[in-house]
Amino acid sequence: MAHVLQNVVFPLDRDPDLLPLYADPETWSTIDEQPVRVSNRAHLGNILGRHRARIVSGRRVSLGTYFNAFPASYWQHWTSVRQVRLTVRTSGPATILVYRSNGAGVRQRVDSREVTGEATSHFDLELTQYSDGGWLWFDIVADEKHAILEGAEWTTEQAPARTGKASLGITTYNKPDYCVETLQALAASPDALEFVDRIFLVDQGTQLVTEQDGYDAVAADLGETLQVIRQPNLGGSGGFARGMHEALQRPESDFVQLLDDDVLIEPESLRRSIVFGQYSTNPTLVGGHMFDLLDRPKLHGWAEVVDEHPFMWRNLYQEKMAHDFGTSNLRQSTLLHMRMDADYNGWWMCLIPLDAIREVGLSLPAFIKWDDAEFCLRAGEAGFPTVSMPGVALWHVSWVNKDDSIDWQAYFHARNRIVAGLLHSTAPRGGRLLAHSRRVDLKHLMMMQYYPVALRNQALRDVLRGPRHMQENLATAMPAARALATSYPETVIHRDPSTVLHARKGRQVYKQLLRNEFDSPTGLKLRIFTLKTLVAHWLHKPAQANVAQPEVEFGKGDAHWWRVPQFDSALVSAADGSGKNIYTRDRKKYRAMLRESVRLHAELKRRWPELQKQYRQALPELVSQQSWQKIFEEKA
């Protein structure tokens, strides 16, 4: 019996920006080591359906693309499959060329076949030479007439290691339109639904999914597969924990597939992740990559890791992301042919074996931030690795137009990172974690961003109270953090169209700073600049004229921590461009917050071994089914 590992598919939307992710009907060359298009033949009119495409006579189309190449190295490394069959169905005269790459991105042709009329071509391919990386794919070249790709898939005769389905856990807070679109995409994809046991949509908002236009129709299509659960807003961790909890009650499920709400899914990716989970030699978390929903060929999240020092998350090869497939295709993107091993995967899309949840527990009651990374680290320590799987992805709004480090989420960034460090860092007293955290406070204080420092100080005080606080303030920490913003005028985004805000010295001042000797200081200059700035803000009051009106204006991209502190006040564009914030130096707040930050970090460092023991001992209870069940019942 042939088991389909991966279908060749084409985009659901007739969006030309999506086409490079599915089919590559263009010719590329390299100029100064940069890929350049020589000719553009990317016509949507040649996409004939979900599985069909036209290849114009005399032209060549490559399926060596993100969604249609086969990630051979991941299948060889994480599964026992050692042979796959590529089946290509065509009509019309054409040549089919099969290629492979290695971990260095070197392309090699492994087979070819000429076909005429209606033809089904099989290519049996070994998965034995891909330990460091590499893909498999095929191209089609049309002869004197147009050719049609009628369909193609990658299969194996080998049975999977486990056969259970997946329950989907979708968590939402006031994104009913996105959720209905996700449900509609699933309902229209029987190939994916075949592997889905239940869809648990956990609605924590006030704009209910059940009241959204189109919900009734899609609910009727999905029938008993869909189950909507209402609960108060317990954040992403509370919503995903509920999805985990419900999936554990389903004997037909071997996995829970977590999905964020504000996403656009590729149903074939959902299917692939479940199939890969079924074939993994050992139970494995299968994560999806993240493309930018507002810039759809751009890949933002690939393999993610947590650096031991200073215990902070990042993309592997951070400097290479985001990757734009609109300007550099897969075959010419050498780095993307390497097998990349991840520490964790974001919960915008992550398949988790229920065996892992039974052994290590559910999500940490963290509300948001670090819940995904902490769980994957915990699972990894118990022998359940995370794979960020190429060809498995969705589209999510990226962080390009966001800065959640200075809004109410600053509390969770600080609190949950330190808690995760207490639970998983192996460095003495957290290594550089606390020093790095203290530097974050210093930068905010020098930037006149007092609100995030107030939240971060509260986060440290809560950590020092012990692990029980995470359950106690699960539902209240976010409202409290948002309420605190009213005490900090810099949090107001000025959008009034009848008022134009101006700075006393205008917007051009920062351009002069580009030539300043202290611009982007490093090494000794950095230390001197930081010390001088901290002392200056401690000793000197701002000029009254600069309090009454912002001294200078910065664009968001130019408002760096080594520029803004040289002024008493600044007008800075909001991250999303919707308005402007006014930052004004406040010596009283600065002094009090600096003293408190230094004190709290010192106490944390002194008490680190004691707190580490407390949090690690409390972890099994914090993440247990019984603990979460009690939270769900109390908050119902």
> What's the CA gap between 460 and 418, in Å, rounded?
8
Residue 322, pLDDT score: 87
User: Residues near 53 by Cβ (< 8 Å), separated by ≥ 6?
Assistant: 10, 23, 46, 47, 61, 148, 149
Residue 519, pLDDT score: 64
* Strand-strand pairing, 196-203 and 165-172: parallel
Q: What percent of the chain has pLDDT over 70?
A: 94
Q: Which of 521, 524, 535 is nearest to 563 (CA)?
A: 521
Instruction: Identify the weakest region by mean pLDDT among 341-345, 539-543, 612-616.
Output: 539-543
* Token pair of 506 as six digits: 């205008």
Give a three-class secondary structure readout of 369-429. Answer: CCHHHHHHHHHHHCCCCEEEEEEEEEEECCCCCCCCCCCCCHHHHHHHHHHHHHHHCCCHH
Predicted confidence (pLDDT) per residue in 600-610, tens digit: 999 999 999 99
Q: What are 332-337's contacts with CB under 8 Å, separation 24+?
A: 332/28, 332/30, 332/35, 332/105, 333/35, 333/105, 334/104, 334/105, 335/105, 336/105, 336/302, 336/390, 337/101, 337/102, 337/103, 337/104, 337/105, 337/133, 337/134, 337/135
Residue 92, pLDDT score: 96
Q: Which residue has the tokens 């490079």?
A: 20
Instruction: Grade residue 551 by pLDDT with cuts at 50, 70 and 90.
Output: confident
User: Given a cut of 60, is residue 366 above it in pLDDT?
Assistant: yes
Helix (H, G, I), strand (E, B) or coil at 189: coil
> What's the CA gap between 126 and 86, in Å, rounded?
11
User: Given a cut of 70, is residue 39 above it in pLDDT?
Assistant: no
Predicted confidence (pLDDT) per residue in 172-212, tens digit: 999 999 999 999 999 999 999 999 999 999 999 999 999 99
> What's the CA gap between 202 and 169, in Å, rounded?
7
> What's the CA gap between 162 and 472, in Å, rounded?
39
User: Given a cut of 50, is residue 631 above it in pLDDT?
Assistant: yes
Verify whether residue 372 is a known catalytic residue: yes
User: Given a cut of 70, is residue 29 above it in pLDDT?
Assistant: no
User: Given a cut of 50, is residue 628 above it in pLDDT?
Assistant: yes
pTM of the predicted model as reported, rounded to 2 decimal places: 0.93
Residue 559, pLDDT score: 84
Average pLDDT, the chain: 91
Residue 30, pLDDT score: 40
Provide mean pLDDT across the span 578-587: 91
Instruction: Grade residue 399 by pLDDT with cuts at 50, 70 and 90.
Output: confident
Predicted confidence (pLDDT) per residue in 401-435, tens digit: 677 888 999 999 999 999 999 999 999 999 999 99
Per DSSP, what are the bridge partners of residue 228?
Answer: 201
* Token pair of 221 as six digits: 């299509």
The DSSP symbol for 552 reads E
The DSSP symbol for 334 reads G
Which segments of 136-264 does DSSP mark as H helices, in order? 176-187, 190-193, 215-222, 235-247
Predicted confidence (pLDDT) per residue in 460-484, tens digit: 999 999 999 999 999 999 999 999 9
Instruction: Identify the weakest region by mean pLDDT among 33-42, 353-362, 385-394, 568-577.
Output: 33-42
Residue 516, pLDDT score: 53
Instruction: Identify the weakest region by mean pLDDT among 82-91, 375-384, 509-518.
Output: 509-518
Q: Which of 408, 282, 423 is nearest to 363 (CA)?
A: 423
Provide mean pLDDT across the span 540-548: 90
Instruction: Grade residue 523 by pLDDT with cuts at 50, 70 and 90.
Output: confident
Tell me the longest C-alpha to C-alpha distance in the chain. 85
Instruction: Identify the weakest region by mean pLDDT among 2-16, 173-187, 335-349, 557-571.
Output: 557-571
Domains of the chain by range and CATH? 3-156 (3.90.550.60), 165-303+341-396 (3.90.550.60), 410-589 (no CATH)
492 close to 578: Cβ distance less than 8 angstroms: no
Predicted confidence (pLDDT) per residue in 285-327, tens digit: 999 999 999 999 999 888 999 998 899 999 888 888 889 998 8
* Strand-strand pairing, 580-584 and 27-31: unpaired
Residue 510, pLDDT score: 54
Q: Say which of 260, 343, 372, 568 is annotated catalytic.
A: 372
User: Given a cut of 70, is residue 509 above it in pLDDT?
Assistant: no
Instruction: Grade residue 506 by pLDDT with cuts at 50, 70 and 90.
Output: low
Residue 517, pLDDT score: 45
